[in-house]
């Protein structure tokens, strides 16, 4: 039973899951919206919203904290300088998930996650 479990394991080891969320976050920051499976999108939503909340402060420490999680200079700079200032007055809810289609190969439900 999965009582009290806080996150989806996505069928991966912890290091693989961490790398997956990092790469999905970088892609979302660079492109503004991406298509992925619904469960990956739901996990990514909580991950990226914590990053944006940290980046909203905009000081040096938040820059270091975001870079420690992303480890990508261009994405970190874009998040701190361009994306996070748009959400200064907003208290959460920075992303939107829309279900799009069923993938033909394995019948997985796909979704688009985008920055609001």
Q: Mind listing the pLDDT tens digit for each residue in 51-93?
A: 999 999 999 999 999 999 999 999 999 999 999 999 999 999 9
Q: Both tokens of residue 81?
A: 């300088």
pLDDT tier at 2, thresholds 50, 70, 90:
confident
What was the pLDDT predicted at 5?
A: 80
* Per-residue model confidence (pLDDT) at position 78: 96
Backbone angles phi, psi at 101, to 5 degrees: -155, 175
Question: Please, which pLDDT band fits residue 111 given cuts at 50, 70 and 90?
Answer: very high
Cβ contacts of 38 within 8 Å, gap of 6 or more: 97, 99, 108, 109, 110, 111
Nearest alpha-carbon partner for 40 in 18, 8, 68: 8
The 3 state secondary structure assigned to 39-57 is HHHHHHHHHHHHHHHHHCC
Identify the structural domains of the chain with CATH numbers, from first to last.
Answer: 14-115 (3.90.1030.10)
């Amino acid at each position: 039973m999965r009582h009290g479990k806080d996150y989806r394991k996505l069928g991966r080891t912890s290091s693989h899951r961490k790398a997956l969320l990092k790469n999905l976050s970088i892609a979302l920051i660079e492109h503004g919206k991406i298509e992925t499976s619904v469960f990956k999108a739901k996990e990514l939503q909580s991950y990226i919203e914590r990053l944006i909340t940290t980046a909203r402060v905009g000081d040096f420490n938040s820059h270091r904290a975001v870079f420690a999680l992303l480890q990508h200079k261009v994405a970190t700079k874009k998040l701190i300088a361009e994306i996070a200032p748009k959400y200064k007055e907003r208290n959460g809810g920075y992303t939107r998930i829309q279900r799009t289609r069923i993938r033909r190969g394995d019948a997985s439900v796909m979704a688009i996650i985008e920055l609001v």
